[in-house]
């Protein structure tokens, strides 16, 4: 029988004078933990540093590393079932796990490994030290008293210092290749191979970027559904997610939030209203959005009570950084015996980052994109012992791994798509991050 010694968190609640963004970036900059995740959920910001337990998934199996050593469960059916089983073995009361999933998990979530390589598909940590900020109060939890005291001391001096200077980059390069990919996809749609596909392009960033300062600057300039900053086992990313893949509360209520249909968001209010009116009346954008909502409903039907499913918000406008989107929200209630991981598996990857139907869209993505997406269009998520889950779609982000730094954005291609417009849409989305990039050792400005 699998057993490990029980562990518990030392806890303390402290008042805060700094805002949550300052608290989170102060903790990240303090260097308390080599690996950490910052996650912004509505009404709560969290910092997770170090690991009491970590779970990873790759083609060899699901792996748990904790104080008792390492346990591996070999692939046998859906791999997320293995992940859930390993999480159930974590002997830390009231744990919350933080981490990410790669887009390529989509190819293997039924258990088929033929389309995946050696890459990691999932990485979750139950942190050694955790800080949850609600308003002007922080709950600090740490596996030892020393860790708790260190965080308390760190937060006592948290102040919003001078801002580092951003150095925007021009992302309007590489149009020809992307426009050709769009034209090829439109031709495939007209040939009835699929209805919609999201094709992305990458933009290399040659400057050494300060990810924490970029998160601080970008969060001030964006209005995301979720935001995140992570450094896990050599992967760094910070982003401002426009939508939720899936959120599940402890009562089993599920929501998914498809966003599809895009126009720029500028500094000119009158221009924004014109673009909004066009967005709400454009047949291509409405069609692209409507089929995304239908797929989200269809996917949740397999895990939710049919009578509970409904579209509680349809085709509203949501402003996200440098763009405005058509946005809907699908809601339902999990069937008895179903869990948050079932809901996640049903909708992942988000239809707004893959296509319709998904399997055919995957083929187009593999054909037209030069490498694995990895974290891009995957998810950053939290999952709690009580069954709660919150998974943000990874878009509008900057990434670094193995000395390479890049941005990535895509556009939804349907039969009415125009290559020039779709390229411009990727630029509008990239600008949500590109204008806030802070180079390492950037000078600071007062205020």
Can you say how many angstroms the Cα of residue 43 is from the centroid of all Cα atoms in its chain?
Answer: 17
Please check whether residue 211 lies inside any domain of the structure. yes
Instruction: For residue 193, tell me if it sits in a domain.
Output: yes
Does residue 105 belong to any structural domain of this protein?
A: no
Tally of domains within the chain: 1
Does residue 8 fall inside a structural domain?
no
Q: In 3D, which of 415, 249, 233 has the Cα closest to residue 334?
A: 249
Cα–Cα distances in angstroms (integers) from residue 438 to residues 130, 207, 410, in the given order: 27, 9, 23
pLDDT value of residue 159: 79
Would you please indicate which residues are annotated as catalytic (active-site) residues?
A: 243
pLDDT in tens, 282-323: 999 999 999 999 999 999 999 999 999 999 999 999 999 888
Inter-axis angle of helices 283-301 and 269-281, to 10 degrees?
60
Residue 414 lies in a domain: yes
Whether 208 is in a domain gets the answer yes
Q: Give the per-residue pLDDT at 446.
A: 52
pTM for this predicted structure = 0.95
How far apart CA 57 and CA 86 sit, in angstroms, is 11
Q: What is the pLDDT of residues 3-52, one digit of tens each?
A: 344 688 999 999 999 999 999 999 999 999 999 999 999 889 999 999 99
- Whether residue 332 contacts residue 299, with contact meaning beta carbons closer than 8 Å, is answered with no
Residue 442 sits at φ, ψ, to 5 deg, of: -70, 145
Give per-residue pLDDT as tens, 215-249.
Answer: 999 999 999 999 999 999 999 999 999 999 999 99
- CA–CA gap between residue 302 and residue 300 (Å, rounded): 5
- Residue 437 makes CB contacts below 8 A (sequence gap 6+) with 166, 167, 168, 169, 205, 207, 209, 214, 398
Residue 121 lies in a domain: no
What is the C-alpha to C-alpha distance for residues 221 and 26, in angstroms, rounded to an integer? 19
d(CA 65, CA 324): 42
For 102-204, list the strands marked E by DSSP.
Answer: 122-126, 129-134, 137-142, 163-164, 196-204
Beta carbons of 361 and 196 less than 8 angstroms apart? yes
Q: Tokens 């948050």 — which residue?
A: 340
What does the DSSP 8-state code read for residue 323? E
Q: For 189-218, write each residue's pLDDT tens digit.
A: 999 999 999 999 999 999 999 999 999 999
Six-digit token string for 52:
């009491």
CATH of the domain at 260: 3.60.120.10
How much of the chain exceeds pLDDT 90, in percent? 90
Phi and psi at 272, nearest 5°, equal: -60, -40
Residue 131 lies in a domain: no
Q: Domain containing 193: what range?
A: 169-223+255-370+400-445
Q: Over pLDDT 70: what percentage of the chain? A: 98
Q: What does the alpha-carbon distance between residue 440 and residue 373 come to, in Å, rounded to a whole number?
A: 25
Residue 327, CB half-sphere, CA atoms under 13 Å: how many?
A: 19
């Amino acid at each position: 029988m699998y057993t490990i010694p029980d562990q518990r968190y030392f806890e303390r609640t402290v008042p805060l004078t700094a805002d949550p963004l300052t608290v989170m970036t102060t903790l990240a900059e303090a260097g308390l933990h080599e690996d950490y995740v910052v996650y912004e959920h509505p009404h709560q910001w969290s910092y997770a540093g170090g690991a009491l337990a970590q779970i990873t998934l790759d083609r060899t199996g699901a792996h748990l590393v904790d104080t008792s050593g390492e346990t591996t469960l070999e692939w046998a059916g859906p791999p997320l079932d293995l992940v859930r089983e390993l999480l159930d073995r974590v002997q830390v009361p009231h744990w919350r796990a933080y981490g990410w999933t790669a887009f390529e998990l989509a190819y293997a979530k039924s258990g088929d490994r033929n389309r995946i390589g050696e890459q990691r598909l999932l990485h979750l940590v139950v942190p050694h030290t955790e800080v949850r900020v609600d308003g002007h109060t922080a709950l600090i939890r740490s596996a030892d008293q020393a860790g708790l005291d260190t965080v308390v001391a760190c937060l006592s001096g948290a102040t919003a210092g001078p801002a580092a200077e951003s150095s925007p980059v021009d992302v309007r390069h590489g149009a020809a290749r992307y426009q050709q990919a769009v034209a090829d996809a439109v031709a495939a749609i007209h040939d009835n191979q699929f209805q919609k596909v999201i094709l992305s392009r990458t933009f290399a960033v040659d400057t050494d970027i300060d990810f924490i300062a970029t998160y601080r600057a970008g969060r001030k300039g964006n209005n995301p559904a979720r935001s995140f900053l992570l450094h896990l086992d050599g992967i760094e990313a910070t982003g401002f997610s426009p939508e939720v893949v899936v959120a599940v509360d402890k009562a089993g209520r599920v929501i998914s939030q498809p966003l599809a249909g895009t126009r720029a968001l500028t500094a000119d209010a009158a221009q924004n209203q014109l673009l909004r009116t066009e967005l709400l009346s454009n047949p291509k954008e409405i069609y692209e959005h409507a089929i995304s909502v239908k797929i989200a409903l269809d996917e949740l039907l397999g895990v939710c009570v049919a009578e509970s499913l409904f579209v509680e918000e349809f085709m509203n406008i949501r402003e996200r950084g440098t763009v405005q989107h058509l946005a809907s929200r699908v809601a339902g209630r999990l069937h008895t015996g179903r869990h948050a991981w079932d809901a996640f598996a049903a909708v992942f990857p988000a239809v707004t980052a893959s296509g319709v139907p998904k399997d055919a869209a995957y083929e187009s993505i593999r054909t037209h994109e030069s490498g694995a997406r990895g974290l891009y269009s995957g998810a950053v998520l939290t999952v709690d012992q009580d069954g709660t889950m919150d998974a943000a779609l990874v878009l509008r982000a900057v990434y670094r791994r193995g000395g390479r730094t890049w941005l990535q954005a895509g556009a939804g291609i349907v039969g009415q798509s125009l290559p020039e417009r779709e390229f411009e849409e990727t630029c509008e989305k990239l600008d949500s991050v590109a204008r806030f990039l802070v180079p390492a050792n950037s000078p600071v400005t007062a205020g």
